[in-house]
Structure 1
């Protein structure tokens, strides 16, 4: 019977609703994890009912859970979520940034929604203002650079049909090149020249191009020669015609440089220079005499040079 009475009383609905249990507090303590850095995890609470000080009777206490450094923020009563969020931004966020977690006994909706909204609004205003200033400075810098660069440039345009296929952008044109060409079809206007006259001399092949896309012409003939003073010594220069080019485009080159870069080029065996060719080494006396004819003070230390196709 004792057991039955005990079970009946224990199961009484009114007793269970109105009487407390005389047992130890249920649930084991769950410590918060140790923060990894200062002001990454904070706790906050309100101290209310304080004496009036300049109209403020509430203190918001914000504590760094690692260093235990504390901020005390005075508030008016009653306070709203917007006011608390603004005070948090002006004091905590300004100095320490946004924490990873906030421990508080208040409803999280009460504080976090307003804090997030204010943070986004402030970030958006700051971002828009920063981008506006950045764009203004970029425009000014572009205008200055364009004005300085255009002082040494001219505007050049080609109409479609003037040896160009179509215009690409503002300063580029596409040419109609053969399919086997290794050149890119689009060229900057600085790489093009306007064709004058109706006469054209077609070229069957393209000039050789290296792996870096740069033309690699080769010497094909020596059209003329001259003796110059180079670094205090007599040196021979050749007027070289290059492959896939016209004689009018020939350039003066040092013979020693041609030998180093094009060892197979032998202008002496061509019978050029408007005669049958007479290739022979020149003695010091011959070189000195030629130097005097050309107004060069070669002196007795001049080196032996080659007179190329000498016909004089």
Structure 2
């Protein structure tokens, strides 16, 4: 927008700010101008060439109209580019009653150790579970185990249709944080060993987590484990 005149970009800021603040925002369902002042923004009257008898005023207003038009075009193109990039990661999904689907959940474990980056490789899908009902256009109600203490309705983006003989974790975790992450509680200690950290011996234990299969057991520092779970006796 200011490629030809890079030193003039500061003169365009007021018009850009005005256009942004008086445009409808889908996130707040209104314009920032109305949020601040409590009324719709005034609509500027388009200027027609030669409407003013003063030459310098006529040129100034014509330049303003051309600038506003160019700003709208560039901002529209920017929005289109962002939408195109976002749509590349989206896919149309639709399920029928009786279909088997996997549910996406993100396992979460409180830890301060940097060496446990493998947690992000833990399974995120559980199931399959049967679709009982379609709720609206983008949500589905699933048939979950009775012991599950979560809501039965999920957004379509959290579901994936079961195809072939593929399978994920057959169980569904029951403990969640306020953000909806699965909390993995220690169930038992499978093994223990001594390791050296900063020239000091530290006891580590191989923990079997309550909401995870045995193959996802992990080594934890015994002191940190007891600090996070004081009621757990290894």
Query: Given the two structures, how large is their TM-score scaled by the length of structure 2?
Result: 0.45
The TM-score normalised by the length of structure 1 is 0.35
